[in-house]
A and B are shown apart, each in its own frame.
Chain A
Amino acid sequence: MKALPREILAVEGARQIADGDVVIVGTGLPLLAATLAQRTHAPNAKLVIESGVVFPRVVPTPVSVVDPRLMHGASRHGSLFEALGGLVQRGLVHTGFLGGAQIDRYANINSTWVAGKRLPGSGGANDIASHCRKVVILTDHERRRFPERCDHVTSPGFLSGPGARAKAGLPELEVKVVTDLCVMEAADSPLIVTALMPDASPDAVRAETGFDVDFAPELDAVAPPTPEELTLLREVLDPDCVYFPERKR
């Protein structure tokens, strides 16, 4: 079984979740990643959904943070204020999954304006980037998505550089960006490449990154999905190809 690039992304996303973690996810690949983690190495990971769903058992395949498929067997159906205030801002959610139109060298995220084009805006993303201890971003690796500096900082990474986050009053953060080419990591630092996806090269990463990206001295290779992971993803978590339309072709 050969995995598609976005399937590898979802599986590597799942590996960012440790057993017992409390994780806040939106829909899309992050939700698949979190559900996959729960069904493999992290059965005790718990999910929080920003609309107010606390610790649900997800039934395939939700398309929205208010989808009834996200609401089963929950600890509570509450409010945005409870999820993003009482759990995330309160410091009880360790890891948050985010997306964004731009991610810059210091892992700041823009989901508001790009070159005069109006985008949806923060939603819960700024709250998650401000309060979680670990942020995971799953994205396609395209040059336009990785500028030196975001046009607009919607959600804070390390702002203008080392020390800026603490100076602004924000807690420590660890960022992992997982793309179809590589894994990049940062902690009060610029993003550096720490691992390559199967079949990806450093030159390909450089070509598709808009800032001058450094590589860790010892580059890891991302392990391809196991047959078990792929089967779960394809047959159980997204049997109708809601998130992998490319699989239908």
Chain B
Amino acid sequence: MAVGVHHLLTGGDPGQATGKVMTAEEAVGRFVRPGAVVGMGGQNINRCPMALVHEVARQGVGDLTVVGCNLSLPLDLLVAAGLVVRTEQGSGNLERYGTLFAWRRAVEAGRVAVADHSHLTMASRFTAGANGVPFLPTRSLLGSDVLAALVAEGIAQVMDDPWGDGPVVLVRALRPDVSLIHAHRADPFGNVVIEGVTSHEVDMVRASAATVVTVEEIVPEGELNARPEEVTISGAYVSAVVAQPFGAFPTSVYRRYDFAEDEIKAYQALARHGDGTYASWLADHVLNPADFDGYLRRADPGGARRAALTESMRSHV
């Protein structure tokens, strides 16, 4: 173990501007490198880091290994952009909106390698990484073909409990080079508040060498320090904070806006065919806009859809 202060903890003096607040373009340029292991936030149709993923696609940062529990829309966009070589995940789908078509095609064609896990074993790997230990035991996977594949890959081993309570599976710690998440709010020091479920994200971030967070709003210095028990992730683990309202669109942010079912269905219809129309959609909506606000203006000119999603969420919470 390295001696001294980890770079994550050297983000500036208390009470001083930390330099963590930046644009998505700057954050992705600084922290997402070709060949990186990228921890992906969000789950299914909730709180996916869409703005950051669009930026990664625009910058064309390639040879990525994308890891997470449920990988959904963000992964599919990165695969469609040709930037992913490997995934390690518990599942890849959009639940009732179907499979991830770009990912499925790439996996079946052998262009993307896959290491399958269960959700608990992926979460356990992040928890090990977050706590500075090399592995964590679990009793999931025993007897399955999922286990056999992970053992062959050197990611899992079966051993007997040293205290005599039968076999356990040891899963290796997973420490992403950079994690990408979208959250409700953060202060300039990178203290992050997430409302609702956190899926696998807290341990994934704490295990990562760097993390970029987009937020619906950046709150003033001091506001979160008054109620630190409400902070979901300490700024100790956060490298960059980007203000991006609707940064998870078309996925949801609990208490803020619902998911845009029509947009997700439209994407799935295009991705299923994967033809020239899909390629044009990617170019027009992801690659060509100058930034995520440009995409939002294109997907929702005038903001009526966003207003409706906000109202829909308000009716449910």
Please determine whether B120 and A68 come into contact, CB atoms closer than 8 angstroms.
Answer: no
Interface SS majority for chain B? mixed
Please determine whether A66 and B146 come into contact, CB atoms closer than 8 angstroms.
Answer: no
Is residue B138 contacting chain A, with contact meaning CB distance below 8 A?
Answer: yes
Interface SS majority for chain A? loop
Please determine whether B45 and A68 come into contact, CB atoms closer than 8 angstroms.
Answer: no
Give chain B residues whose Cβ lies under 8 Å from the Cβ of A79.
123, 197-203
Give chain B residues whose Cβ lies under 8 Å from the Cβ of A53.
197
Is residue A28 contacting chain B, with contact meaning CB distance below 8 A?
Answer: yes
Q: Give complex CA distance A84, B197 in Å.
A: 13
Please determine whether B120 and A127 come into contact, CB atoms closer than 8 angstroms.
Answer: yes
Known contacts: A84-B120, A89-B139, A165-B143. The answer to whether A64 contacts B95 by CB under 8 A is yes
Is residue A217 contacting chain B, with contact meaning CB distance below 8 A?
Answer: no
Please determine whether A168 and B108 come into contact, CB atoms closer than 8 angstroms.
Answer: no
Please determine whether B146 and A122 come into contact, CB atoms closer than 8 angstroms.
Answer: yes
Q: Output the residue of B108, B196, B203, B252 with the most chain A CB within 10 A.
A: B196
Is residue A117 contacting chain B, with contact meaning CB distance below 8 A?
Answer: yes
Is residue A125 contacting chain B, with contact meaning CB distance below 8 A?
Answer: yes
Is residue B92 contacting chain A, with contact meaning CB distance below 8 A?
Answer: yes
Give chain B residues whose Cβ lies under 8 Å from the Cβ of A153.
143-146
Instruction: Considering the complex, give the chain A residue whose CB is closest to the CB of B317.
Output: A68
Please determine whether A170 and B142 come into contact, CB atoms closer than 8 angstroms.
Answer: yes
Is residue A69 contacting chain B, with contact meaning CB distance below 8 A?
Answer: yes
The A65-83 residues at the B interface (CB cut-off 8 A) are: 65-69, 71-72, 77-81
Is residue B55 contacting chain A, with contact meaning CB distance below 8 A?
Answer: no
Instruction: Considering the complex, give the chain B residue whose CB is closest to the CB of A152.
Output: B145
Please determine whether A52 and B197 come into contact, CB atoms closer than 8 angstroms.
Answer: yes
Instruction: Considering the complex, give the chain B residue whose CB is closest to the CB of A166.
Output: B166
Of the four ranges (under 10, 10 to 19, 20 to 34, 35 or more), the interface on chain B belongs to 35 or more
Give chain A residues whose Cβ lies under 8 Å from the Cβ of B46.
51, 64, 66-67
Is residue A124 contacting chain B, with contact meaning CB distance below 8 A?
Answer: yes
Known contacts: A117-B108, A170-B143. The answer to whether A64 contacts B90 by CB under 8 A is no
Q: Give complex CA distance A119, B316 in Å.
A: 32
- Distance (whole angstroms) from the CB of A72 to the closest CB of chain B: 8
Is residue B239 contacting chain A, with contact meaning CB distance below 8 A?
Answer: no
Please determine whether A169 and B142 come into contact, CB atoms closer than 8 angstroms.
Answer: yes
Is residue B313 contacting chain A, with contact meaning CB distance below 8 A?
Answer: yes
Please determine whether A126 and B140 come into contact, CB atoms closer than 8 angstroms.
Answer: yes
Please determine whether B118 and A123 come into contact, CB atoms closer than 8 angstroms.
Answer: yes
Name A59's contact: one of B91, B92, B99, B316 (CB within 8 Å). Answer: B316
Instruction: Considering the complex, give the chain B residue whose CB is closest to the CB of A50.
Output: B119
Q: How does the 8 Å CB contact mask read for B220-253 relative to A, with 1 for contact and 0 for none?
A: 0000000000000000000000000000000010
Known contacts: A52-B197, A79-B200, A85-B124. The answer to whether A154 contacts B145 by CB under 8 A is yes
Known contacts: A66-B43, A81-B127, A169-B166. The answer to whether A154 contacts B120 by CB under 8 A is no
Name A27's contact: one of B96, B114, B254, B316 (CB within 8 Å). Answer: B96
Give chain A residues whose Cβ lies under 8 Å from the Cβ of B145.
112, 152-154
Give chain A residues whose Cβ lies under 8 Å from the Cβ of B208.
none
Is residue A195 contacting chain B, with contact meaning CB distance below 8 A?
Answer: no
- Distance (whole angstroms) from the CB of B194 to the closest CB of chain A: 9
Q: Give complex CA distance A63, B261 in Å.
A: 10
The B45-101 residues at the A interface (CB cut-off 8 A) are: 45-47, 69-70, 89-93, 95-97, 99
Give chain A residues whose Cβ lies under 8 Å from the Cβ of B90.
121-124
Q: Output the residue of A53, A124, A159 with the most chain B CB within 10 A.
A: A124
Name A78's contact: one of B116, B168, B197 (CB within 8 Å). Answer: B197
Please determine whether A80 and B120 come into contact, CB atoms closer than 8 angstroms.
Answer: yes
Give chain A residues whose Cβ lies under 8 Å from the Cβ of B313.
68
- Distance (whole angstroms) from the CB of B142 to the closest CB of chain A: 5
Please determine whether A156 and B144 come into contact, CB atoms closer than 8 angstroms.
Answer: yes
Please determine whether A81 and B118 come into contact, CB atoms closer than 8 angstroms.
Answer: no
Q: Give complex CA distance A53, B44 in Å.
A: 15
Known contacts: A77-B196, A79-B123, A116-B108. The answer to whether A65 contacts B143 by CB under 8 A is no
Instruction: Considering the complex, give the chain A residue whose CB is closest to the CB of B91.
Output: A123
Please determine whether A65 and B139 come into contact, CB atoms closer than 8 angstroms.
Answer: no
Is residue A155 contacting chain B, with contact meaning CB distance below 8 A?
Answer: yes
Please determine whether B44 and A66 come into contact, CB atoms closer than 8 angstroms.
Answer: yes
Please determine whether A64 and B120 come into contact, CB atoms closer than 8 angstroms.
Answer: no
Please determine whether B199 and A52 come into contact, CB atoms closer than 8 angstroms.
Answer: yes
Instruction: Considering the complex, give the chain B residue whose CB is closest to the CB of A164.
Output: B143
Q: How does the 8 Å CB contact mask read for A33-72 relative to B, with 1 for contact and 0 for none?
A: 0000000000000000011110000010001111111011
Q: Give complex CA distance A167, B117 in Å.
A: 21
Q: Top 3 closest A-B pairs, CB basis?
A: A168-B143, A66-B46, A120-B93
- Interface contacts beyond A64-B44, A89-B139: sample of 15 additional A-B pairs, CB < 8 Å, sorted by A: A66-B43, A66-B46, A66-B199, A66-B252, A69-B316, A78-B198, A79-B123, A118-B107, A122-B118, A124-B118, A126-B146, A130-B142, A153-B146, A159-B143, A164-B143
Please list 6 pairs of residues, one from A and one from B, whose beta carbons are closer than 8 Å in the complex, sorted by A's number. Answer: A27-B95, A65-B95, A69-B316, A80-B123, A81-B120, A121-B90
